[in-house]
């Protein structure tokens, strides 16, 4: 007699498949449990019971509120966890990944992965929750961020002193210098400025990743931010023979933002657009009202970004492959711009066509009425 085919959906096949799954999950070191369609626990493995320090027989049949109560003070925010479980249990399609901390004798960090469980005939059985322990990875990431932050701080102080000394020499403080010496000093000064920008970018990124970026929010005009950024970066554009244009629809509402950080976002986007624009080209910054906020677009006529790389353009250290790579750069400017826009509860995205240029846009919510 042939073995039952699970695809037939026969009761015997379904039970056999369920027993195999149950055995695999029970043997795994990854905590796991499942909720049925009535949002009650119908399965858990030993690892999940051990995490809660409860007998496995206690949990089956418990509702979500009862489960959260049994997890007790181990949860940093029981109400938020309960709300997430209830929302996911009611969603019959979504696969979700969340971060969660749980306190036993030590603080443990987990990546929660949940997805619907379906029968062979497509019927819904419930939802499975898996908890991958990422405590060590999180500790290593924090250590790395702290090291980068400390190293960058230690580097910035001497680099600032070196730049100051080069400024004095180029300004004639130590007397006139011949053209050959001046050329060498200019090269050293340019390299020093580039290193300081890199160090500042790394410090900003480490603050953002550590959740220590503090915004000084105030009512402000995004158009004013654009105009300040254009003045700041105009000399760079002139050096590459690139023109700048500003288009602003009036009147526009104020936004609630950190003036320095929004200036940084616009400057980063402008610098990127100028760098990849051909001589005699024009980079346009357009500001307009959109639903719920104000939108800023930075438009260039550079080489564009291949379609398979547009989604990765905001990733750390990512640089577009191809001839444009020789333009250099750290690959951090767009990452920082995205993080700062997200900190402002905004949205940022890129659109591009190879050979026709790129458009980087972001929106910031309008400030509430005074």
pLDDT of residue 1: 36
Fold match between domain 138-209 and domain 218-365: no
- Please give the class, per CATH, of domain 6-133: alpha beta
CB 292 within 8 A of CB 257: no
- Neighbouring C-beta atoms of residue 268, cutoff 10 Å: 23
Mean pLDDT across the chain: 84
Higher pLDDT, residue 19 or 274:
274
Cβ proximity of 60 and 41 under 8 Å: yes
Decide yes or no: CATH 3.40.1440.10 for domain 138-209.
no
Tell me if residue 286 falls in helix, strand or coil: strand
pLDDT at residue 5, rounded to an integer: 46
Per-residue pLDDT tens digits for 145-175? 777 777 777 877 888 888 888 888 888 887 8
pLDDT at site 161 = 86
In terms of CATH architecture, what is 218-365?
Answer: 2-Layer Sandwich (3.30)
Confidence of residue 7 (pLDDT cuts 50, 70, 90): very low
Residue 327 predicted with pLDDT over 60:
no
pLDDT confidence of 138, banded at 50, 70, 90? Answer: confident
DSSP state of 218: E
Determine the pLDDT at residue 19. Answer: 65
Taking 70 as the threshold, does the pLDDT of residue 323 lie above it?
Answer: no
> Pseudo-torsion of CA 226, 232, 235, 240, nearest 10°?
-50
Domain boundaries, the chain: 6-133, 138-209, 218-365
Between the alpha carbon of residue 138 and those of residues 209, 234, 281, the distances in Å are 11, 42, 45
* pTM exceeding the 0.85 threshold for the entire prediction: no
Whether residue 8 has pLDDT greater than 70: no
Range ranked top by mean pLDDT from 18-22, 131-135, 151-155, 195-199: 131-135
| Angle subtended at Cα 213 by Cα 210 and Cα 219, rounded to the nearest 5 degrees | 155
């Amino acid at each position: 007699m042939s073995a039952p085919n699970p695809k037939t959906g026969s009761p015997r096949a379904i039970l056999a498949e369920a027993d195999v799954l149950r055995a695999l999950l029970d043997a795994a070191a990854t905590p796991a449990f499942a909720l049925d369609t009535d949002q009650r626990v119908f399965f858990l493995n030993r690892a999940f019971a051990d995490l809660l320090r409860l007998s496995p027989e206690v949990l089956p049949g418990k509702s979500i509120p009862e489960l959260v109560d049994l997890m007790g003070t181990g949860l940093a925010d029981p109400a938020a966890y309960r709300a997430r479980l209830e929302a996911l249990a009611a969603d019959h399609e979504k696969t979700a990944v969340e971060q969660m901390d749980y306190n036993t004798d030590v603080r443990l960090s987990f990546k929660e992965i949940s997805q619907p469980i379906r029968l062979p005939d497509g019927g819904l059985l419930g939802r499975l929750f898996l908890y991958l322990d990422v405590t060590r990875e999180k500790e290593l990431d924090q250590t790395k961020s702290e090291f980068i932050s400390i190293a960058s701080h230690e580097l910035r102080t001497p680099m600032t002193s070196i730049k100051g000394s080069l400024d004095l020499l180029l300004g004639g403080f130590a007397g006139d210098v011949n053209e050959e010496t001046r050329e060498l000093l200019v090269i050293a000064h340019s390299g020093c400025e580039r290193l300081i920008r890199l160090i500042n970018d790394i410090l900003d990124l480490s603050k953002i990743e550590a959740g220590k970026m503090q915004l000084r929010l105030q009512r402000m005009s995004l158009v004013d931010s654009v105009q300040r950024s254009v003045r700041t970066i105009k000399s760079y554009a002139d050096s590459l023979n690139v023109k700048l244009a500003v288009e602003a629809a009036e009147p526009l509402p104020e936004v609630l933002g950190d003036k320095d950080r929004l200036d940084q976002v616009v400057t980063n986007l402008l610098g990127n657009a100028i760098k990849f624009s051909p001589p005699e080209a024009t980079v346009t910054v357009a500001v307009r009202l959109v639903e719920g906020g104000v939108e800023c677009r930075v438009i260039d006529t550079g080489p564009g970004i291949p379609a398979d790389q547009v989604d990765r353009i905001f990733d750390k250290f990512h640089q577009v492959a191809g001839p444009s790579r020789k333009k250099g750069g750290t690959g951090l400017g767009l990452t920082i711009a995205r993080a700062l826009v997200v900190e402002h509860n905004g949205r940022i995205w890129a659109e591009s066509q190879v050979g026709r240029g790129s458009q980087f846009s972001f929106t910031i919510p309008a400030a509430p009425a005074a």
